[in-house]
Amino acid sequence: MRGNCLIAQSGGPTAVINNSLCGILKQALEGNGMGQIYGAKRGIYGMLNGDYLNLANLPRVTWDNLRFSPGAALGSWRYKLTVEEVSCIIEHMRSRDIRYFFYIGGNGSMQVAYMIEQQAKDMGYDLTVIGVPKTVDNDLTGTDHAPGFGSAAKFVATCVLDIAMDIRSLPGSKRVTIVETMGRNAGWLAASSALAGGCESIIPPLIYIPEDPFSTDQFLQDIHVQYGRYGSALAVVSEGIRDHTGRLLAEESIANDPVGRPQLGGVSTYLSQIVNAETGLQARTVLPSIWQRSGMLFSSKRDADEAFQAGKAAVQFARAGKTGVMVSLQRISHHPYKVSYEPVSLQEVAMRERLFPSEWYDRRTRSVDTPFIEYVTPLIQGEVFVPMNNGLPAYNTISFSM
Residues with catalytic roles: 137
According to DSSP, the β-strands at 4-9 and 37-40 are parallel
- Identity at 125, one-letter amino acid code: Y
**What stretches of 41-186 show up as alpha helix (H) in DSSP?**
44-49, 60-66, 83-95, 107-122, 149-169
Separation of alpha carbons 117 and 122, rounded Å = 9
Task: Determine the angle formed by the axes of helices 17-29 and 301-319, rounding to 10 degrees.
Answer: 40
Q: How many CA atoms lie within 13 A of 348 on its CB side?
A: 11
Which positions ≥6 away from 336 have C-beta within 8 Å?
Answer: none
DSSP secondary structure of 303-355: HHHHHHHHHHHHHHHHHTT--SEEEEEEEEETTTTEEEEEEEEHHHHTT---P
Residue 21: its H or E element: helix 17-29
Contact 337, 382 (CB under 8 A): no
Cα angle vertex 337, ends 334, 339, to 5°? 105
Which positions ≥6 away from 345 have C-beta within 8 Å?
Answer: 142, 324, 325, 326
- Residue 182: DSSP 8-state: -
Separation of alpha carbons 384 and 301, rounded Å = 5
Contact 182, 137 (CB under 8 A): yes
3-class DSSP state of 24: helix
